[in-house]
Amino acid sequence: MEIIGLTGGIASGKSTVSEQFAQHGWAIVDADAIAHQLTAIGGKALPLIQEAFGVDYLQSDGSLNRRKLGRLVFANPALLETLNGIMQPLIRQRIAEKFDQAATAGQPYVVLDAPTLFEQGYQDDCDQVVVVSIDLGTQLQRLQQRDGFSLAEARQRVASQMPLKEKVARADWVIDNSGSWQATWLQVAWLIDHFSMI
């Protein structure tokens, strides 16, 4: 089984690209979706987050107040580290389980969609790494539009990540998603053909 890592900046278009891989029938392991499940009610991470950050970050129904916790940790690197210390080992464990499941199911390709792929060292588990790149102006615009952030909030989220340039420099393959849907679709179609041939 070939493991293809997929990463990039926030709102650069990872989910858009992974959707195309999924439509081609490849298995997707989505690190963000795993994080979401872990922090949902009944998820393994929720009690640990409550212990570390207090009930102030839960809603009255016991679910996580994601926006409030996001605002806190993205403005405070030490607290982001605390949250990562809770989340990353649990995410790593789930990713390993999902890789095992895909291998058992006989999947020839599995795509690991992970925003912090390089930061967490997952490139060592991947046969190829694809980075979805975007120009900063378009990234900030799409981020504001999708998540309702102010320009300052969007800038803060981008600044809290490894610079996209650095990810591009470490990539085996780069998809430029600064243009139209069609332009990106063509690049991904080419990549799927290319991977299928090697």
Ligand X SMILES: Nc1ncnc2c1ncn2[C@@H]1O[C@H](COP(=O)(O)OP(=O)(O)OP(=O)(O)O)[C@@H](O)[C@H]1O
Residue type at position 184 = T
Could you tell me how far CA 29 lies from the centroid of its own chain? 10
Q: By C-beta, is 128 or 187 nearer to ligand X?
A: 187
Is 107 among the residues that bind ligand X (CB under 6 A)? no
Closest separation in Å from C-beta 94 to Mg ion: 17
Return the range that interacts with ligand X (CB under 6 A); candidates 10-18, 37-45, 49-57, 79-87.
Answer: 10-18
Q: Distance of CA 198 to CAs 127, 129, 192, 193, Å?
A: 12, 15, 10, 9
CB of 108 or CB of 190, closer to ligand X: 190
Do 25 and 71 meet the contact criterion of CB atoms below 8 Å apart? no
Cβ neighbours, 10 Å, residue 91: 22
Closest to ligand X by CB, 52 vs 145, is: 145
* Residue 5 interacting with ligand X (CB under 6 A): no
Contact between 13 and ligand X per CB under 6 A? yes
CA distance 64 to 6: 27
Say whether residue 32 binds ligand X (CB under 6 A). Answer: yes
Binding site for Mg ion (CB under 5 A): 14-15
